[in-house]
Structure 1
Amino acid sequence: MKKMLVFLLLGMSQLAFAQKGKPYPGFPEKFETPLAETKSKYGKGEVVFKSGNWTLEQALIGDAADKDRFKGKQAIRMQQNLDAPSLLQMNFDLPNGASKVSFQYGAYGKDRSCTFILEYSSDEGKTWSRADQVITDASDGLSTATFKFDIKGNVRFRINKIGLGSSEKEASIKNGRLNIDDFTVYQN
């Protein structure tokens, strides 16, 4: 009986250790393939990256070495000065919930910062909930954003760059272009 209990406890702890806190297969999503020519214009389109199918709405794959902020050779670039949001959205669910999400972000070129949020959906993208943190400090380097979660079951994520209008018309509006790279979801 003792041997069975020890085996059962060891088996359960190994199972928990094997899943909780580890990045999902295919992550971090570095947005390295396909090449930038695949989605080189703003507007809405779907792109299949290493991790799965993503929607880029008012976003493209940017590879301008002197302006886009990335590790590697390219990153996602989200449009500036819009009244509507720009989205980088997963079109697939991850089955084991999420304990953490992290990604890198930066302002394109010499653009002003912008305002963006991380959102998640547990109902296949029908409704979206906002993570607590609002980010407004994109700069000309790469910064890392980290969000802690305790989400169980199916989940998907998106970055919503909020459409605040034109910073060219109103100096107080910070709505520059945004780069996103190295997006990682950790299992729960």
Structure 2
Amino acid sequence: MKKLISIFIVSLMFVGLAWAQGTLTFDEDGWNLPTGSVYGDGSNEVNGITWNYGHCQDAGQYSIEGTSLLLRRASDGYLEATIPGGIGTFSFEYKKGYTGNAVRQLELIINGTQVAVTDEFGTAEHNDADVVYTFSHEVNIPSEATVRIKNVGETSPNRHSVIDNISWTGMGQVDDPFIGVSSISISGFEYELDSGPSEAISFTINALNISNDVIITSPDYYEVSLDENANYGNIVELSPVDGTIDNIEIFVRLESGLVVGDYSGILLVESELNDIEIDLSGQVKAPLAPGYFVDFEDGSTTGYASENVELNGLVWDMTQSLIGSDSGDWKIDSKSARFNGKAGSSITMMEDKVNGIGDINFFYKKYGNDAQRTWKVEYSMDGGTSWTQAGDEFVAQDAVTEFHASVNQAGNAR
């Protein structure tokens, strides 16, 4: 089964490119990847290119071919290298690792900007434990480029994903006019009301064999600059030097003074060749109300039997769970919650909190050497009638891990 995902981010006219290529299979000498339950960071030089990896291991029985690399999670698992001479097409194979059913999705980041993602994979619904997919993307950057492959986002729950058989073509001598950008869609511009502008997000422009200026025009509500920290406006003009614009970074941000709401628009890159459009999206958020915090220090239970407990002013039902203070309970102060691991184990708010839900965060870890099951977090906006999953499912490990999910729902919630 082969899936091909291509997002074209450049507009080019060329006749006679000289192409080169490279490959990476993880079967090369020098790979000392961790195995078993150990994950680690490291690097290896292959054919003059240094590949750095973070929180990875040998995929072992889940490999695609020979040795494969297994990425554990989005927060700190990655593979990265700086490839000289430019990149034409970049490709790799990928599949599910381990047996957990968390949704998986990989992203390709070029020079710090996400340029493409794979389809989602790895859940029970996909039924693809043994399916190897192929990803391919037209990068078309004629100069040195830094490539990173990782799970989408920054979350910490496990999303084991296997990659292998990486390949790319290079861009050699370009004789005819060329212009390209590193991304055609940028999102994530945001700030809280009265605290703008947003943080800047950048993209890069490359051009060869052009005569006239390239003009970058921002849409309403956005502004652009060549300096991340100053000189923002609606237009940036780039003048080629000897016909070349070499990997120039353009900074974009959502302007200050906007009201609460969503803001989208099209940033225009105009050149003598044609125009390139970059979709922008962002939002101004209402100020968050004070959060609700539970540390279990004000509650107590008599065992695993279901009972109601008041925690920081709200009543919770604890079923097949308890508030523990034993030496085996991991805790920040003197108490924490412990699930017994049965199917019905839960901690549930029995009444709503006002002012909605922004982010949900907590710490968790494995209790002793007990067998573990998959857990999930849910929230309700209708008094507990229906529930919606927040964030990814997770399995507790030996190490303390932080759960994070963004809900951003107004109104009464539990």
With normalisation by structure 2, the TM-score equals 0.30
Match of 2:389 in 1: 130
CA contact (8 A) 2:309 2:318 kept: yes
The reply to whether residue 105 of structure 1 matches residue 367 of structure 2 is no
Q: CA deviation at 1:101?
A: 0.6
Q: Which amino acid aligns with 2:318?
A: L
Q: State the alpha-carbon separation in 2 of the partners of residues 140 and 23 from structure 1.
A: 32
- Give 1:30's aligned residue: 295
Task: Give per-residue Cα distances to partners, 1:34-84, cap 9 Å, x unaligned.
Answer: 3xxx3131121000112411100111111112x11111001111112x3x3
CA contact (8 A) 1:59 1:77 kept: yes
Partner of 2:215: none
Aligned position for 1:49? 311
- Output the CA distance in 1 between the equivalents of 2:316 and 2:368: 24
Asked whether the equivalents of residues 355 and 412 of structure 2 are also in contact (C-alpha less than 8 Å), the reply is: yes
Query: As a proportion of its length, which structure holds more helix?
Result: 1
Q: Which consecutive residues of structure 2, in runs of 5 or more, have no partner in the other structure? A: 1-192, 196-259, 261-283
Does the residue aligned with 2:365 lie in a helix, a strand or coil?
strand
User: For residues 344 and 408 of structure 2, what CA distance do their matches in structure 1 show?
Assistant: 27
Deviation at 1:114, TM superposition (A): 2.3
2:329 corresponding residue in structure 1 = 68
Aligned to 1:146: 404
- The 1-side partners of 2:314 and 2:400 are apart by 24
In the alignment, which residue of structure 2 is the partner of 1:59? 321
Cα distance in structure 2, aligned partners of 1:120 and 1:54: 13
| More strand per residue | 2
Q: 1:145 to 1:122 in 2, by over 3 A?
A: same
TM (normalized to structure 1)? Answer: 0.64
1:132 deviates by 3.9
Contact 2:289–2:355 under 8 Å retained in 1: no
Answer whether contact 1:58 1:87 (CA < 8 A) is retained: yes
Structure 1, unmatched stretches of 5+, are: 1-11, 157-188
Q: Which residue is equivalent to 1:93?
A: 352
Alpha-carbon RMSD across the aligned residues, in angstroms, is 2.2
Aligned length: 134
Cα deviation per residue 1:79-133 (whole Å; 9 max; x = unaligned)? 12x3x32111111212211121101111112223321001010111111111241
Q: Separation in 2 of the partners of 1:28 and 1:141?
A: 23
Structure 1 CA distance for aligned equivalents of residues 356 and 309 of structure 2: 23
| Residue in structure 1 matched with residue 287 of structure 2 by the alignment | 20
Distance 2:364 2:314 in 1: 20
Tell me the equivalent position of 1:79.
Answer: 340
Distance in 1 (CA, whole Å) between partners of 2:302 and 2:369 is 20
